[in-house]
Amino acid sequence: MADLDLFWKRGKDFLGVRFPIIAGAMTWISDSRFVADVSNAGAFGCLAAGNMDPHLLDSEIKKTRELTQNPYAVNLITIAPNYKEHLKVAIDNGVPFIVFAGSFPRGPEVKSAKASGAKVMAFASTDSIARRLIDLGVDALILEGSEAGGHVGHVSLGILLQQVLFRIAEVPIFTAGGIATGAYLAHLLLMGAAGVQLGTYFVMTEECRAHPKFKQAFVRAKARSAIATPQIGSELKVVAVRALKNKGHDDFNELQIELLRKRRQGEITHSEAQYQVENYWMGALRRAVKDGDVDFGSLMAGQSVGLVSQIRPLKKAIAALIDEAEEELARVKDRCRSLETVSI
């Protein structure tokens, strides 16, 4: 694994793990047990705060600390109603890493997180945003392409690599969105990534405690099955959600139409409308993950769902990525040698 260690050394050193492979935070999935399982397997787990009760988050952080001695992160959604309380809970618990997601953290929030001893990570979608976050003191960046599952932006990872990864060298950059093979991991490392973040890939592990029907929907799905929800009008500023298409998608479109009507007639405020949108997704996701409602629940998945078709132990899933990455690096090296011979 010498070549692999060379290319992802920066990510390993930053995260303090054997493998700089991040299991992205997934609401209702990335709880203390799953995070500990990931971290104990040598990768990097992220506890999903979502919009849980702050007391529950406090309990989950403490449980995570009891279950693993290895590094992990707490993922905070900056647009969640409980966000400020979540940040305080994370700081008070002295968590080793804080990931800001959903929107951009404010300077004082980054400063407070770092003052607690935490390393700070945040998502960037352009080079200007990346530099702004670095100026705020963020220690590392995550580039998440629109291929990812859950709440996504509008730009693919391929573009983000060119906008950010190829232009920014000051901090480690981890890539996410559509990653499900070791071969792709190898090439991302060759391009300069410090490591990768995967979500859909880790759903397909035995340690992931999502409902069996949820996982079976992933087994049957193709890449094109994971679609991003449309935004009806611009007033609600709905963030697209990528999930497997089902009847719940139609319900969400109807919800947007109804909220727009109420908003235009002054029956609800803009913030109330946005809250109902988020509340819908959290409830729909819980029904799918916990209850197995694959018809009306939210089957959040990235387009990489078309690349995963088996459920296996977490350690085997990680080992498969590493073996494939090593094989791909060896193949690239052989190809380079062949090209040198031809040129001579």
Tell me whether residue 39 is in a domain: yes
Distances (CA, A) of 280 to 7, 46, 299: 42, 23, 13
291 pLDDT higher than 90: yes
Tell me whether residue 224 is in a domain: yes
pLDDT at 342: 64
Strands 241-244 and 150-151: antiparallel
Average pLDDT over residues 76-103: 94
Tell me whether residue 260 is in a domain: yes
- Both 331 and 268 in one domain: the answer is no
pLDDT in tens, 218-266: 999 999 999 998 888 777 777 788 999 999 888 888 888 999 899 889 8
pLDDT at 339: 81
Q: What percent of the chain has pLDDT over 70?
A: 99
Tell me whether residue 201 is in a domain: yes
Closest CA to 177 of 169, 193, 168: 193
- Both 62 and 191 in one domain: the answer is yes
Tell me whether residue 303 is in a domain: no
Domain of residue 113 covers 2-209+312-339
14 pLDDT higher than 60: yes
E strand map for the chain: 21-23, 44-48, 72-77, 97-101, 119-123, 140-144, 150-151, 173-176, 195-198, 226-228, 241-244
pLDDT in tens, 142-159: 999 999 999 888 899 999
Tell me whether residue 66 is in a domain: yes
Tell me whether residue 296 is in a domain: no
Closest CA to 197 of 344, 58, 70, 21: 21
- Both 139 and 239 in one domain: the answer is no
What's the domain count of the chain?
A: 2
- Both 30 and 154 in one domain: the answer is yes
pLDDT in tens, 157-211: 999 999 999 999 999 999 999 999 999 999 999 999 999 999 999 999 999 999 9
- Both 154 and 21 in one domain: the answer is yes
- Both 32 and 100 in one domain: the answer is yes
CATH for 154:
3.20.20.70
- Both 151 and 60 in one domain: the answer is yes
pLDDT at 151: 87
- Both 135 and 184 in one domain: the answer is yes
Cα separation, 144 vs 156, whole angstroms: 8
Torsion of CA 11, 12, 14, 20, to 10 degrees: 60
Closest CA to 217 of 296, 279, 317, 151: 296
pLDDT at 1: 61
- Both 261 and 333 in one domain: the answer is no
How would residue 275 be classed by pLDDT, with cut points 50, 70 and 90? confident
Average pLDDT over residues 281-298: 93
340 pLDDT higher than 80: no
- Both 333 and 245 in one domain: the answer is no
